[in-house]
Amino acid sequence: MATVAQFDHPNLVKLVSSWASVNEIQMMFELMDGSLKDFYTEEENVITHIAQQILMGLSYLRDERIVHRDLKLANVLRNNDDNVKIVDFGSSRRLDIGNMQFILTVLSTIQYCSPEMLQHQLRKIDRLNKSDVWSLGILLLEIYMGHFHFPRIDKLQTYNEIINDFVVPELPNSTSQFRDFVQRCLIRDIDSRASVDDLLGHNFLHMFH
């Protein structure tokens, strides 16, 4: 909770107050109008706005050496002014060699998990925030396609597809810039996958300015 209380960024939901009882800790966050859960659109100018704000939040977390580990539509909030904020840091962890094994424990939603998280394989701790980039790619696919890419029930099938068979859908009605952006998020090899900074400089984010 102490880490969440220290967050100070417009794209991370702000902790307003907290208090502890005998059995639990209660936290009050700033009011938002809802999450992106069940929010779907093919309007790429809207997707660009969402992606850029999520990346700005991830950039802040990276600078604080924190990996979110459970980035999904339900954990991204949006208000009526189209401000987007990342929430739910229950699975997040500070990057540290000493807690590497715990970081690689899969606690997040498996359908959004990166291959390296599922396989517990990570060679360099400074690459770990790219796992959140993978989750961003899945999230954006879901927004654009209007449905979840993976089956929600068969976890073994999902695991095998992410590890061995995942291919980014063709998205024939989308722009080449959007397809390239998503494909760079969803490269299975973590060393080849785009970083947060790579994506912030991608031309997809600047198409509508």
Domains detected in the chain:
32-206 (1.10.510.10)
Assign 4 a pLDDT band (cuts: 50, 70, 90): low
* Reported pTM: 0.84
Supply 208's token pair.
């509508």
- Tell me, what's the pLDDT at 134? 94
Q: Which residues are catalytic?
A: 70
Q: Are the beta carbons of 168 and 149 closer than 8 angstroms?
A: no
pLDDT, average across residues 36-54: 95
Q: How confident is the model at residue 197 (pLDDT cuts 50, 70, 90)?
A: very high
Checking 163-166 for CB contacts under 8 A at 24+ apart, the result is 163/115, 163/118, 163/119, 163/188, 166/115
Q: Widest CA span of the chain, in angstroms?
A: 55
**Residue 30 or 79, more confident:** 79
Residue 175 has pLDDT above 70, yes or no: yes
Q: Could you give the CA distance from residue 104 to residue 111 in angstroms, rounded to a whole number?
A: 16
Picking from 143, 132, 129, 134, the residue whose alpha carbon sits closest to that of residue 174 is: 143
User: Who contacts 46 (Cβ-Cβ below 8 Å, separation ≥6)?
Assistant: none
The radius of gyration of the chain from alpha carbons, rounded to an integer in Å, stands at 17
pLDDT at residue 162, rounded to an integer: 81
Q: What is the pLDDT of residue 94?
A: 53
Mean pLDDT computed over 171-196:
94
Is residue 123 pLDDT above 60, yes or no?
no
CB of 143 closer than 8 Å to CB of 47? yes
pLDDT band at residue 97 using 50, 70 and 90 as cut-offs: very low
- DSSP of 153-173: S-HHHHHHIIIII------TT
DSSP SS3 for 174: coil
Confidence of residue 115 (pLDDT cuts 50, 70, 90): confident
